[in-house]
Structure 1
């Protein structure tokens, strides 16, 4: 079943890269008591993700925060080392928190996986964005396959 507006995010463990190395991030604690703009993309260093999706959120970080967002987070089915390197490459550090969903546990739990095996990518997360307020989904935008419209920073900003 696909997650919907009004649902609470499931408990999962993401990984994030810190100055001390990989660190687990428990979803229940991470989302508790805060308003988070969360977006998902198929993969770090992939064309649309690197040219448009993540850069849009990096560029609009201050505007999103001015509209009441406490933190901006990006998740992808990549390992924490790739996500850490991508954050540096994209200038995302301090603006967007990259949450590695290396085993696809999060996107499977919310019903938003995609099959990227014809491109050699295996199971990945669909492209989407959401506002999560104290662990509850209040806004949800799921892209049609191959599209990049409703999950952009600009689109989400317009919903706040």
Structure 2
């Protein structure tokens, strides 16, 4: 069953990759406080993830912060070494935090895992807005490419929420 609006983020062991050392922690510890944008990609260094999905969030970090987002987190079903290399090469360190979900346990717990030909278990492409550990909005990409789960769509959702608040 896929996580839905109003659901609490599950507590699953993950590795948090950021500016310092990789930290063993849990998904709810990383995603459970403040206003968080969490997006998942099928794989580090894969074409669409690397050239379309991640760069949009990096380029719009200041806009997300201006809308009250306390952190942006990218999840990938890769080991922490690959995830860190991708974060460093993408110049995302200090702007975005990364969850390395090497076994896909968080992807499974969220109901957002999928088998991809030749790649095994991966995250489906998605983005969510989480407020104090509860899913406020979920955007799962149904088609190839980055549309509903990309930075522009998530910025629009955040702006729309501010207008109606």
Q: TM-score range by the shorter chain?
A: over 0.9
90 and 113 in structure 1: CA distance in 2 versus 1, 3 angstrom threshold = same
Q: TM-score, normalised by structure 2?
A: 0.91
SS at match of 1:7: coil
Q: Residue deviations 1:67-105, cap 9 Å, x none? A: 010000000100000010000110101111011011101
What's the CA shift for 1:145?
Answer: 4.2
2:88 & 2:34 partners in 1: Cα distance?
A: 25
Name 1:131's counterpart in structure 2.
129
Unaligned runs of 5+ in 1: none
15 and 3 in structure 1: CA distance in 2 versus 1, 3 angstrom threshold = same
Name 1:105's counterpart in structure 2.
105
Q: TM-score, normalised by structure 1?
A: 0.94
Root mean square deviation of aligned Cα: 1.3
1:33 & 1:45 partners in 2: Cα distance?
A: 29
Which is further off, 20-29 or 56-65? 20-29
1:25 & 1:63 partners in 2: Cα distance?
A: 28
SS at match of 1:85: helix
The count of aligned residue pairs is 158
SS at match of 1:124: strand
SS at match of 2:4: coil
Query: Are the counterparts in 2 of residues 77 and 100 from structure 1 also a CA contact under 8 Å?
Result: yes
Name 1:17's counterpart in structure 2.
17
Name 1:96's counterpart in structure 2.
96
Name 1:71's counterpart in structure 2.
71
